[in-house]
Each structure stands twice: as structure tokens, then as C-alpha cells.
Structure 1
Amino acid sequence: MTSTVKTGSWEQELHSKRGSRPAVVAMAAAAGTVAVGLLTAFIGTSSGAVASGRHPGWEESVRAARVPQQAAAPHGKPKAAPHSAPKVPPKVSRTISHHTAKGGRTVALTLDDGPHPEWTPKTLDLLRQYHVKATFCLIGPNAQRYPDLVKRIVAEGHRLCDHSVDHDTGMDHKPVAYQKRQILDAQKMIEKASGGARVHYYRAPGGAFTPDSRRIAAAHGMRPLGWIVDPGDWQRSGSEEITRQAEEQTKDGAVVLFHDGGGDRSESYEALRQYLPWLKEQGYGFAFPKA
């Protein structure tokens, strides 16, 4: 720059005379001020950087985004981010639900012990064919093992039920702390596998409810879930016998127990394939259990 060359010439003259003239000192001060001013102007013009040190173009981005006035806090302390409200479980009854929420000529189909990599997808396909919504009572580790199936259950409009961690049918003879772990650990596994969907019910393995297990489940938003119709498909008595038992036990507003997990459920699947159209022929609709 021209100012730099000039600065060099008068500096040489100044040092050679070693401050013998006050005028020279005054000239040096004036020239230095001019040089600093020119240098500052050059930097500000060529870089385009803002004084805050933010990346060039930051201000233009903010203006383009049209940030609301109240979003900026130029004065005082920045506002703290609002705290999200703690998740409060919905209030549910601790009494065991045996009936549909709608009542009348409806049934609530429930399926236990899944998800199973073979029988759950087939059961879901069958339910979709007949436009039926069901409740799936899942074993915690099974849900953890097959999260895609849990997500499919939710995505297709069915409900989730906690069926414990280990399917211990003797839970009613175990300490309360053990019952609590079995219920709540399974709930967490199912919720995680589903992507955060609500678990509406808790079904004790083998119906081994206790006052404590019902209280624990209800306190965490899960209605204890029983049944009225049990065709005994878990005994593998043959699809025809399973179907006969289901039809004979069916009554208005009943919760129906079937299985889509826990081993080979080919008989359960075949019985369900016969039972669903029979229910339609008898004028039954489908509903969820009372929650």
C-alpha cells in the first residue's frame, strides 16, 4: 500500500534524527493514525466479516429466515429452554378387564407370547384380510428381538400388552420386587421396540395376577387384562377342536385368548382362520378391551 511506503520513509528520517524536531514527532503521529485507519478500512472492506466473529453471511441468513422478534434476546440473560413436562402414565383401573370397551355384540381378540418371526406376520396378514384390530400381549425379550414386528403391529392399528419378561406362571408366588421387575422391565422393552408406543395392558402369565401386580401395572398406565374365551390353543389339541371351543365359549363383549407365539402356532393360526369368518357370519364386530 502507498501508506506503508510513506510510513517507511518518514520512519527512516525520524530514526536518523532521533526526535530532534517536535514537528517531526507530530508528523509521525499523524501519519501513523492515517495508516491505521487505512488498514482498518481495507480489512473491513475486503473480508466482509462482521465484528462478532460469526461466519460471513450469518446476518443475511438470519434475515432470510425471518426470525420472530421475540426469539432474539439481545439484552439481559438468554431465556432458558422450557422444560418438557414429565411423562405421566394415564390413569387406569387396577381391576382385571374381561370385556370389550364397546360391549354389545363385539369381541376383543388378544394374542399372546409373541412376537414370533413366522406366526406373527401370518397372523397380521390374516387380521388385515378380515379388517380386525387385535391386542398383542408381548414377551419383553421377544419384542426386543423382533422390533420390526412390534412396529408393524403398531403401524397396522393394533394395541400392545405387556406379558412379562420370562412368562413365569408362578409369579403370584414370588416376591413383589420380582413381580415389579418382570412387569416394568418388559414394558420398557416393548416401548423401546415399538418406538415409544403406549402399552395399554398387562396380562399376567397364566393369569397369575396378584393385588400387587395389578397395582404396579395400573400405576404405570396398564390395565390388567384377562379373558373369557379360552379355546386352549396353547395345548395344541388340533385346529378343529380349538375352533369348536372358541365358538362355543363366545359371548357378547368377551375378550378372546389366542396365541401367535411360544412355539409352533400352526394350529392356532388355522383355527383363527376359521374362527374370524364365523364371527363375522354371527354378526360380531371387533373392539379393544376396556383400558
Structure 2
Amino acid sequence: MPEPPVPRVLLEGLVLGESPRWYDGRLWLCDWGAGELLAVDADGHRETAARIDAFPFCIDPLPDGALLVLAGSDRRLLRRAPDGTLTPHADLRPLCDRPWNEVAAAGGGTAYANCIGFDLMTGEKPAGGIVALVAPDGSARTVADDLAFPNGMAVTPDGGTLLVAESYAARITAFDIAPDGGLTGRRVWAAVEGSAPDGIALDAEGALWFADVPNRRCVRVREGGEVLQTVDTDRGCFSCALGGPAAEPLLFVTAAEWRGTAGATEARTVRLLGAPAPAPAAQRP
């Protein structure tokens, strides 16, 4: 295993940073605590691209250049046009009445969104989560259930597999994507004992990075669970993304001093970190 790279601080002073995505030549991320959608350039200069009145909220770009915004506490999916206009895209309330957590764009304008099945921030007892398929016309249906805190998601470049991090089961779970977008063939893609996989990022070599809050690290694994590399930090890692120039790819990490749900929005301890990565991001389906 190679020596762990030392991440550098690109930005700090965020409240609760999540869902980083390399999009339109910049790194975009969500500051849940401040309700801000941010865009950050290579020099760490940031722009507030939108204000989102939801907690949590997450993003993922569509192939047509629009950005999906999952307003988790509102249980709805928004669409942000390249000119910044936000419009309603899908109403997810009929499928799950708890906060929605993550979104992953797929081919043909479809997307997957997940709901963890309980309200973590109010201390509700854990319950099984779901994954929903959202069609281009905004219609939605449940395609997987009984997930142990579904968190980060990613679709493979061929559009044939959805990967889901199950934080409370210490595993990355894979589903085959049927022609109609339904999910079949559920299986363990990687068991990651002792970890709580959160946000994930696929790379061009078929490996996957996952963020791990309690262990304060990001881990690169291949299918089957072999650990290829780790990036250690001084605070909990919530999510990660690959981006930057293809010749010098970076792993971007959002990390915070996690003090539990009661103090989640009380201090600005979040840093956006960057570390050299061995492979660029996987192509989007």
C-alpha cells in the first residue's frame, strides 16, 4: 500500500460541509449548517451559488448540465439550470416521510435518491431506508428498501450498477440496474468492517473511495473489499469527490470535528481538503 498522502486545506470555516461534486470546472459542495450551495475554484475562492432552506441537502449534476438538488427535509428534488434558476423536479413525500439524504444522477436524465428511514437529528430509533428512482418527468417510485442507513451513492460508467454505502452495516452494496431503472441482484460489493462508509466516489480504475466519520479517514477499496489506500485527517470525514485536472487528480474531502447531532451546527469546524489521488474520477454514465 502506498504512503498515505497528506491532504492540504483548501477552505475552512464551514458549518457542516457535505456532498462535494466536481462540476463545471469547479468543486461544488453543500454547507448544511449555513444553507449555502458553494462553488470553489482551484485557489480556494468560493462563491455562494444558491441558498437552500433544507437540512440536509445534496447535489449531483445531470448530463445536460443541470444540477439536481435534493432538499432532504422538504422531501423534494429541485433542478438548478446552468443560469442558476431553481425549479421543482420531484415530490418524494409519498415515498418516505423522513428526511432524504443523497442523490446520484444516472443515464438518460434519471436519478436515484435515498431516505435513511428515520430522523437522525432528533434521535429517532434507526429504521430501514429506501432508494427511489426518479424519472426525467419527475415521477418517482421505490426500487430498494431495508437499507441500514443508506448514504453515498454512485452509478458505474456503463450505467449498469448502483453502489450504495450502508453506514450502519459497514458495507458497500451493489445493485444491477434494469432497463427500466429498477434494481435487482442485490449483493455486497465490499465489506468494510470497523468502518461507517458515508459519501463515496468512483475512480477510473474501478476502485471506490469512501469517507468515514468515526475513523477520521477516507479509504480507497476495490470490489471485494481490499484496501488500496487511505487518507487520514484530524477530524471526521463526511464525504469525498474526485476532480481537478485529469493528469493531476485530487481527492476532495469534507471533514469536521463531529460532536454529535446536538452540536452539529454550533461551530464552524468544517474543512475542505485536497489530496493527490492515484486515478481520476470515473466517467459519468
**TM-score band, normalised by the shorter chain?**
under 0.3
Tell which has more relative contact order, 1 or 2 (C-alpha 8 A, sep 6+).
1
Query: Which protein is richer in helix relative to its size?
Result: 1
More strand by share: 2
Normalised to the residue count of structure 2, the TM-score between the two structures is: 0.26
